[in-house]
Amino acid sequence: MEEEKELLENTNIKPSIARVKVLEYLRNNKTHPTVEEIYTSLAEEIPTLSKTTVYNTLELFENNGLARIVNVGENESRYDADISNHGHFKCDGCGRVYDFRVNMEALETRGLEGYKIWEKHLYYRGICSRCRD
């Protein structure tokens, strides 16, 4: 709450209720929630919240390095307050989206000479160990 407020202020974003709460939600729920999930969770305590505001807020966060969009091959985007380069694993059994550590800087690529890269995204799909048991 206070921490999120500060974080927003340090990024020169006005800490409105919606913004503080969305950021807080993202930092407390590392499940890579969808807009829908964020919206329905927060709508209880912020009855005036609209889904569009959630969209706007997340886009603002993305543009200011406070969140990243996470894409795991669904037709709905997810969001993550962890902006480090890490991988995501989507389990086709339980639907969960897990983090995994990976050294993406070490990846050698062929065919991108002279390209300016500003985002790297890696995701796997399969079955998690819980669902395999």
Partner DNA sequence: TATAAAAATGTAATAATTACAACCATGCTC
Partner DNA sequence: GAGCATGGTTGTAATTATTACATTTTTATA
79 binds Mn ion per the rule CB under 5 A: no
56 binds DNA per the rule CB under 7 A: yes
Query: Looking at 30-38, 100-108, 114-122, 123-131, which segment touches Zn ion (CB under 5 A)?
Result: 123-131
Q: What type of residue is 25?
A: Y
Query: Looking at 15-23, 32-40, 43-51, 120-128, which segment touches a copy of itself (CB under 8 A)?
Result: 120-128
- Residue placing its CB nearer to Mn ion in the complex, 5 or 27: 27
Least separation, in Å, of the C-beta of 127 and Zn ion? Answer: 6
- Residue placing its CB nearer to a copy of itself in the complex, 20 or 91: 91
SS3 category, 4: helix
DSSP 7: H
Cα(64)–Cα(70) distance, integer angstroms: 16
Please state, as a whole number, how many other Cβ atoms lie within 10 Å of the Cβ of residue 87: 15
Write down the residue that tokens 């927003």 correspond to.
Answer: 8
Write down the residue that tokens 């603002």 correspond to.
Answer: 60
84 binds a copy of itself per the rule CB under 8 A: no
95 binds a copy of itself per the rule CB under 8 A: no
Cα(48)–Cα(55) distance, integer angstroms: 15
91 binds Zn ion per the rule CB under 5 A: yes
- Among residues 106, 17, 112, 25, the alpha carbon closest in space to that of 67 is found at 25
What is the binding site for DNA (CB under 7 A)? 13-14, 16-19, 34-36, 46, 48-53, 55-57, 59, 75-77
